[in-house]
Amino acid sequence: MILIYTGDGKGKTSAAVGQAIRAHGQGLRVAFGQFVKRPGRAGEQKILSLLLGDRFLACGLGFFRNEEDRPAHRDAARTLWDWSLRQAEQTDMLVLDEALYALKSGLLTRGEAETLLRLAADRSMHLVLSGRGLPGWLLDAADLVTEMKEKKHPRRQGVKAAPGLEF
């Protein structure tokens, strides 16, 4: 199955992590990669690294904001994509956090994403993608899409991101 967690609200990564833990708990071989996110920054990275070992990889450079930084961000995304192809050969579930952001910003190409969809179908592997900016063609290809919608967020009152809640 192709599962997608998207939208402008909080909880996409948390849902993807929960899906990975549930699958792992049922004996599925799970790999979890994070586009964009820097290693060693988010709380889930510690536990996923302990749980999955080398089947966890975060190699991002942060959110893409400056066009002159595109080559470095694309290289980091390509590293994760190459890793994903290797993981797809030996896993039952591949989770790619912030894949939609990488796709929307051009750090991951549609062709690369379609390759992962084909691999998932060919191997009967579950593919979980998260992030903002779900394109229509991927919506059509997905089996499950959950959209997180923000109703209220403390940052609107000037509250800064809190460890363990936001990262």
Domain-located, residue 96: yes
Domain-located, residue 88: yes
Domain span including residue 33: 2-149
Kindly report the number of other CB atoms within 10 A of residue 27's CB atom. 8
Q: Tell me, what CATH number does 78's domain have? A: 3.40.50.300
Domain-located, residue 166: no
Rg (CA), the chain: 15
Considering its fold, how many domains does the chain have in total?
A: 1
Domain-located, residue 164: no
Convert the pLDDT of each residue in 34-55 to its tens digit: 999 999 999 999 999 999 999 9
Q: Tell how far CA 117 is from the center of its chain.
A: 14
Q: Residues 43-71: what's their mean pLDDT? A: 95
The angle at the Cα of 101, spanning 152 to 9, to the nearest 5 degrees, equals 10
Convert the pLDDT of each residue in 125-167 to its tens digit: 999 999 999 999 999 999 999 999 998 988 888 999 888 877 8
- Are residues 126 and 94 in contact, defined by beta-carbon separation less than 8 angstroms? yes
